[in-house]
Structure 1
Amino acid sequence: MKVIVEELHARGHQLTVMRANNSYYIKETSPFYTAITIDMACKFDEEFAKTFVSRLLEIQRQGKSAWTRYELEMEVAEKISEIHQVTVKMLEHIFENKDLMRSLRDAKYDLVLTDPVDPSGAILSRILSLPLVFNVRWTTHGEGHFPIAPSPLSYVPTPMMELSDKMTFLERIINILVFAFGKLQVANYITPHYVGLLEKYLGSDVDYLSLFQAADLWLMRVDFVFEFPRPTMPNVIYMGGFQCKPSKPLPQHLEEFVQSSGEHGVIIMSLGSLVGELPQDLTEEIAAAFAQLPHKVIWRHKGDRPATLGNNTLLVDWMPQNDLLGHAKTKAFVAHGGTNGVQEAMYHGVPIVGLPLILDQPDNLFKMEVRGAAKVIDIFTMNKDIFLQGIEEVLHEPSYRKNMQRLSRLHRDTPMKPLDSAIFWIEFVMRHKGATHLRTQSYKMPWYSYHSLDVMLFLIVLFLVILLTFSAFVTCLCSRVCSRRKTKSD
């Protein structure tokens, strides 16, 4: 969101950002926006995130099995349920604050821009009767396409299952079962929290899912270089890699370290901002593998310094990831598989050694692996030798870099930069007070009408009526013919 907010500000727009009072990633003061701080804490604070991630890692270290997968899914569902419980209380707190609501209405905003992984923005936009624009990859219902676009499960894989668009019969069975399980989780752990809230403030005729489906515009943080081809809708605008940009010169100390790598080049490693630190035994294995390489390594690492750390490895609290990926001496990117990191690597054409940890990360890296641009390693069964072998394979097998550079060319070959496209469509919604002409009305149809079950039932009944009528006519005709023949015979 920060990238879009800064670009909108640069183009002269005035922005107001709503935040909880304990938000650690949305600052209260900024030159780019005015903040409205809600006098209430959200559930997803820094401590919650750290504990949540640690628990997910702990479960996965038990080994791969159906039970581990089930335990993992239930842990995620329960924690998400806790987040939504607090979200409902925060929304009630906002809506009951008459002064705040009056100021929001008096401000006469042009639209609400929000990430639908949290429903707050969608609900607020309905109450304020404002156009709604999503910056989206995920919603509370799962991957962003599923609530609005036809998604045939025969070739559209359910997210996080590491399936492609070429599924075997068994994989299609799994795909359907997992999709149904996901629907059940949403129905049990998310939707019930909002029934009373929506009825109180929006009326009993407002459905939770329809709040999302009624959005004017979906700015999708992927493209079809990353995603598998699938049906889409006119109000879905693809801006994959919108945060990517040409690299800038490195700080002097980093540039000197990179240049000291000589002909071998540099490997960079980052596990993102959500994963604070890995278990110490895994850290030691990774450091020991790096120490055996002739390359220099820049590792974004928090926690204790590994005892096996080699002289070729530089530990940093923060790194200019985009600038390092764009450096000519960078040979490989060791990454956890977050969407931003994968797309930055693709933008700069740097092959990936994947160490997926949680949530969508295995699926993101799987998409790169099937395209031959990444080597994925199971971090929970990994040791020094396995990790070292994986890195050397990516470094010395030319196909990884070749395939990633091909993806980079496809990703960059667009008529308009992704960020420019996103801003154009946001401003389009402002100019026209919405984009309802791009939005299908299918979400207002009953499920049986959407799937044409009523039409099929009507046609079947009509066919049976015609068939029975014809059968009765033939029976009657045959009866008369037989009767006449009998009369003549007599």
Structure 2
Amino acid sequence: MMKLTLCLLSDSLPDMNRPTLVVFLLLLCTLPFIHGGKVLVFPVDGSHWINMKVIIEELHARGHEIFVIRPADTWYIKAESPLYNTININSSSGFDEEAVGSFVIRMLNLRREGASVWARIPLKLELVAQFYELNKSVVQMMEQIFEDAEMMQSFRDAKYDVVLTDPVVGGGVLLAHRLGLPLVFNVRWTVQWEGHFAIAPSPLSYVPLPGTELTNKMTFPQRIKNVLYYFFTRFQIAYIADPNYKPFVHRYFGSDVHYMELFQAADIWLMRNDFTFEFPRPTMPNIVYMAGFQCKPSKPLPQDLEDFVQSSGEHGIIVMTLGTLVGELPEDLTEDIAAAFAQLPQKVIWRHMGKRPSTLGNNTLLLDWLPQNDLLGHPKTRVFVAHGGTNGVQEAIYHGVPLVGLPLMFDQQDNLSRMKARDVAKVLDIATVTKDIFLEALKEVLYKPSYREKMQMLSRLHRDQPMKPLDRAMFWIEFVMRHKGASHLRTESYKMSKIQYYCIDVAAFLLAVVLLIAIIFISILRFLWQTLFYRDKMKKE
């Protein structure tokens, strides 16, 4: 067939083009044959869905057929889309956007009011309880799916090639193993904290836990803090994850199976960070780093927004957004931020959905929504004021824009502390921010060249790769589809007990051997001594 195509095309072109055409077609023949596969996606809602959708769009563009599991209480996952087919589940996933937003505001208000740590403990316990209920809802949804024989048969009949899921909750993991399908993670977190800690060696001497705000260069007191924080996270896991997943996994997969074994058996971990963001640490062959996979060159702004940006002249612009969960900050904080912006010569584009501040200057434009990536990629953008979500931080790195951080909660403080450690961000405590503190931070990042220079260096490091992160992710998803998994990259250590993993049994055996040799040696010496002593005694007598 290829010969016939080559002959027909060669005859239809002038002689001078035939050698080029032959080379082109020979190269074409060497490309791997790619057919559209069937991908079952078990997503997580909120900001996690935003980056999962990027992968779905690319899979769709490559000719794959996508099926997305959609719970009844979803926030963002649309019932109809040209990108994917939906599998609607008449059950709750446990996500409640309004409840989370309300919680963040209540925590902010308490911190702004100067409430003590003790006064904030009930809210923190409430957050832990919300995570417990979230995982409980997911497990209940999976029980409903597993017990629905018709639905499970439809999953089997569909003959999916791979399951793609975000393991911050365990639904996709449980379903993939129940169906016996290859499993790929779009991951930063699992039900047991940060993804690396579930699969890769993580020495606490130089691998800081998220939440500690430590670096890989820890003093002795900092290592104590890191170890204590590790045990604190184990208590959280014992309350949030263990009671939900252990009974379910024992029921459906066997009493000898621990639920984390199912996570650790995933074929490929597409990790949403890299070592421009993460500190150096051990990793594993099936961890594929794709930080910034959602980043892309900026597109032209709408004309009215472009006119506003251009009106900034040589001073440039500041972009501010605090994510999707908080559209309206406490009023006193809003007034202080607006007043600080008003004293700068830069123009400001601020995503703000609350009451218009009375201190707002003529240089500030308030928007309900803004094209974040396109603004960060604009040459006139000087500073990004952000809450520290992973997506926003990575877009800032990609475009080389330094940060002023106002972390709210979750992983945001830790994300920004990593940027602070690299001297590309000024991080403020939102509980104590005033107009003067905020203004001073803005001026420092705006007018101290090192912030921008170091962020642009990070951007160059991030971009200097043999292939784009999204292309790398696509390769490995398709690799798993082609080969029905990637078991040769997956360690079997997760099947070992802690006694085997840490060689406690080996140490005990070697110690026993040493003790046995010592006992035998001592016994021989004692025997020889007694024999000689008895012989001398007999001679004397």
**TM-score range normalised by the length of the shorter chain:** over 0.9
Among residues 216, 220, 225, which one is paired with 2:271 in the alignment? 220
Of the three residues 403, 413, 423, the one matched with 2:454 is: 403
Are 2:81 and 1:54 equivalent residues in the alignment?
no
- C-alpha RMSD of matched pairs (Å): 1.5
Matched, 1:178 2:229: yes
My pick for the range that moved more, 83-92 or 311-320, is 83-92
Match of 1:487 in 2: 538
Equivalent residues of 1:60, 1:72 under 8 A apart: no
What amino acid sits opposite 1:18 in the alignment? I
Deviation, 1:205, is 2.7
Residue in 1 that maps onto 2:180:
129
Give 1:195 shift.
3.0
Partner of 1:258: 309
Matches within 5 A, 1:25-44: 25-44=76-95
Answer whether contact 2:109 2:330 (CA < 8 A) is retained.
no
Size of the aligned set, in residue pairs, is: 490
CA 1:51–1:386 in 2, change beyond 3 Å: closer, same or farther? same
What is the distance in 2 between the residues matched to 1:149 and 1:60? 36
**Could you tell me which residue of structure 1 aligns to residue 426 of structure 2?**
375
Among 84, 92, 101, which residue is 2:152 paired with? 101
User: Which structure 2 residues correspond to residues 231-270 of structure 1 after superposition, within 5 A?
Assistant: 231-270=282-321
- Whether the aligned pair in 1 keeps the contact of 2:385 and 2:405 (CA below 8 Å) is yes
Tell me the secondary structure at the aligned position of residue 313 of structure 2: coil
Listed as ranges, the gaps of 5+ residues in structure 1 are: none
My pick for the range that moved more, 71-80 or 356-365, is 71-80
Q: Partner residue of 1:162?
A: 213
Aligned residue among 363, 366, 369 for 2:417? 366
Aligned residue for 1:304? 355
- Give CA deviations for 1:259-317 in whole Å, capped at 9, x if unaligned: 00011000000101122221111111101100110100000111111111111000111
- Equivalent of 2:141 in 90, 103, 122: 90
**Alignment of structure 1 residues 5-24 onto 2, 5 Å:** 5-24=56-75
One-letter amino acid of the structure 2 residue matched with residue 223 of structure 1: D
Structure 2 counterpart of 1:392: 443
Tell whether 2:198 aligns with 1:147: yes
Q: Which residue identity does 1:47 align to in structure 2?
A: E
Q: Which amino acid aligns with 1:138?
A: W
SS at match of 1:15: strand
> Could you say what secondary structure the match of 2:196 adopts?
coil
Partner of 1:451: 502
**Residues 57 and 358 of structure 1 are in contact (CA less than 8 Å); yes or no, is this contact kept in structure 2?**
no
User: Does the CA-based 8 Å contact 1:20-1:38 persist in structure 2?
Assistant: yes
Given that 1:59 and 1:71 are in contact with CA atoms closer than 8 Å, whether structure 2 keeps it comes out as no
Q: Equivalents in 2 of 1:178, 1:435: separation in Å?
A: 34
Counterpart of 1:229? 280
CA positional deviation for 1:54: 2.3
Spell out the pairing of 1:427-438 with structure 2 (5 A cutoff). Answer: 427-438=478-489
Q: Structure 1 residues 418, 64: closer, same or farther in 2, change over 3 A?
A: farther
> Structure 2 regions of 5+ residues with no counterpart?
1-51
TM-score by length of 2: 0.88
**SS of 1:333 mapped into structure 2:** strand
SS in structure 1 at match of 2:534: helix
User: Identity over aligned residues, as a percent?
Assistant: 62
1:2 aligns to 2:2 (yes or no): no
Indicate whether 1:336 and 2:352 are aligned: no
The code of the aligned residue for 2:132 comes to: S
Return the alpha-carbon distance in structure 1 between the equivalents of residues 385 and 277 of structure 2.
18
Residue 43 of structure 1: CA displacement?
Answer: 2.2
Query: What is the alpha-carbon distance in structure 2 between the residues aligned to residue 9 and residue 379 of structure 1?
Result: 41
Q: CA deviation at 1:202?
A: 2.5
Residue in structure 1 matched with residue 378 of structure 2 by the alignment:
327
Gap change, CA 1:89 and 1:278, over 3 Å in 2: same
Q: Conserved in 2, the CA contact under 8 Å of 1:114 and 1:135? A: yes
> Equivalent residues in 2 for 1:64-79 (5 A)?
67=118, 71=122, 73-79=124-130
CA separation in 1, counterparts of 2:308 and 2:153?
56
2 CA distance for matches of 1:464 and 1:419?
57
Measure how far apart 1:488 and its partner are. 3.3
How far apart are residue 70 of structure 1 and its match? 5.1
Counterpart of 2:521? 470
Q: Structure 1 CA distance, aligned partners of 2:115 and 2:537?
A: 80
1:17-37 Cα deviation digits (max 9, x unpaired): 001122111111111100111
Shift of 1:251: 0.9
1:244 aligned partner, one-letter code: C
Tell me, in whole angstroms, the C-alpha distance in 1 between the residues paired with 2:229 and 2:98.
Answer: 30
Give the partner amino acid of 2:456.
Answer: Q
Q: Could you list the per-position Cα deviations for residues 87-106 of structure 1 after superposition, in whole angstroms to 9, with x for gaps in the alignment?
A: 22211222222222111110
Please, what TM-score do these two structures have when normalized by structure 1? 0.97
* SS class of match (1:347): helix
For the residue of structure 2 that corresponds to 1:314, the secondary structure is strand
**Alpha-carbon distance in structure 2 between the residues aligned to 1:440 and 1:93:** 32
Partner of 2:262: 211
Question: SS at the partner of 1:147?
Answer: helix
Q: AA paired with 1:256?
A: D
Structure 2 residue identity aligned to 1:363: D
Of structures 1 and 2, the larger Rg is shown by: 2
Q: Is the 8 A contact 2:385 2:403 kept in 1?
A: yes
Query: Equivalents in 2 of 1:110, 1:63: separation in Å?
Result: 54
Aligned pairs for 1:253-292 within 5 A: 253-292=304-343
Given that 2:274 and 2:289 are in contact with CA atoms closer than 8 Å, whether structure 1 keeps it comes out as yes
Rounded to whole Å, the distance in 2 between the matches of 1:413 and 1:266 is 27
Question: In the aligned structure 1, how far is the partner of 2:110 from the partner of 2:206?
Answer: 30
Equivalent residues of 1:60, 1:68 under 8 A apart: no
Secondary structure of 1:28's aligned partner? coil
330-339 vs 182-191, which deviates more? 182-191
